[in-house]
Structure 1
């Protein structure tokens, strides 16, 4: 792999124990995502989309197979190693925002920098405010998340995801709780980030996201059902 934040998934399986034995959430998936791609992972509920994204983020580990992402073979890293890798390389955006409710918006962004320690201390405050300005909520910096609209909270979550200047953005249903106009504004932010060279992978049900992405990967029952670009389709 010559590009730092290319993703390569090789024959990955993820199973979970259930009363009947074993549930296969991801079933022998192999794919490649080149640097700078904008990918939508789509499929019905239960198709394995979020499970795959969580493994790309190092939040979950495969039962078998390997995942290379942002210059690392994730299976070779310890939990603390994964956390350090994620802090340096991955910006995560979730459907339910997951902002810390007792911290102000700017403090949520600062905490991400304080945790990773990639950005010099003297630059963190200015950077946090710059990112909030960029996503259009600079005026909300000193407010608690609960006082913001859903769209504003998602913008804050995107600013937090950008805190450490990651090359890879992973988003799980980022417009799932937003009205269509607000969702369009959030999608335009993802397009901007991709145009700057970041690799963006979005799990979604939304056709609007599929329309603006460069690559679509459709999962069905944990397997790749349809795909394009660099994706390796399963036999």
Structure 2
């Protein structure tokens, strides 16, 4: 199966006044390729920081982060950006679609950055992905014209733009009603069934029904790491 992610003795601290706050406290963690993992815990437990370390958005203060074949600590900022563009799909709670671009243009943008997809194929691929998440008919609208659920679908299509092996989602259902949230989790389940590794930070209790593993953080440390047999994996 191989590892998608391997963290070894990872610490992340931030300066705070005269001292510092420890956001991630000596975490070692291996996630296999094709796993669907939920990271849960209260606000301030270090969940988002951990996800940002996996994405190469934050750098570890100490320890090593390996993800999708790269030692993230050894990459320059531009090296990290190009690694991330090719290998990681990011989905955020607040969608983060660019408001002045159409939905299709938002999905095409990562393809323009990573240059994995030939230019003449990019719009067709964007429309295919929007069709896959059920909003092909919204392709030429601006994000503000879409509902929250539609915007999150567009954000998932954008995350898939370069066919990344690793998808990282930070509270992807946090701004959605329960019906729409369930539909989002179903989308993630389908993506995982295709072999993608998915790590979701969430408060959503229903996540246990779909993930194969649940990791609980308290004060930046892993307290429980549970494999769930009820999941599709």
Alignment match of 1:65 (pick from 45, 63, 66): 63
TM-score by length of 2: 0.96
Structure 1 match to 2:187: 189
- CA distance in 2 between counterparts of 1:220 and 1:30 reads 14
Structure 1 match to 2:177: 179
Structure 1 match to 2:212: 214
Alignment match of 1:109 (pick from 107, 110, 123): 107
Structure 2 match to 1:90: 88
Q: Which residues in structure 2 correspond to 1:1-235 (within 5 Å)?
A: 3=2, 6-229=4-227
1:123-171 Cα deviation digits (max 9, x unpaired): 1111000000000000000000000000000000000000000000000
| Aligned length in residues | 227
Q: CA deviation at 1:210?
A: 2.6
Structure 2 match to 1:233: none
- CA distance in 2 between counterparts of 1:72 and 1:40 reads 22
- CA distance in 2 between counterparts of 1:22 and 1:217 reads 25
TM-score by length of 1: 0.95
1:75-101 Cα deviation digits (max 9, x unpaired): 000000000100110000000000000
Q: CA deviation at 1:209?
A: 1.5
* 2:95 match: secondary structure: coil
Runs of 4+ in structure 1 deviating by more than 6 angstroms, as ranges, are none
Q: CA deviation at 1:228?
A: 2.7
- CA distance in 2 between counterparts of 1:113 and 1:31 reads 30
- CA distance in 2 between counterparts of 1:126 and 1:195 reads 24
Q: CA RMSD in A?
A: 0.9
Q: CA deviation at 1:112?
A: 1.2
Q: CA deviation at 1:195?
A: 0.1
Q: CA deviation at 1:20?
A: 4.0
Q: CA deviation at 1:6?
A: 1.4
Q: CA deviation at 1:177?
A: 0.1
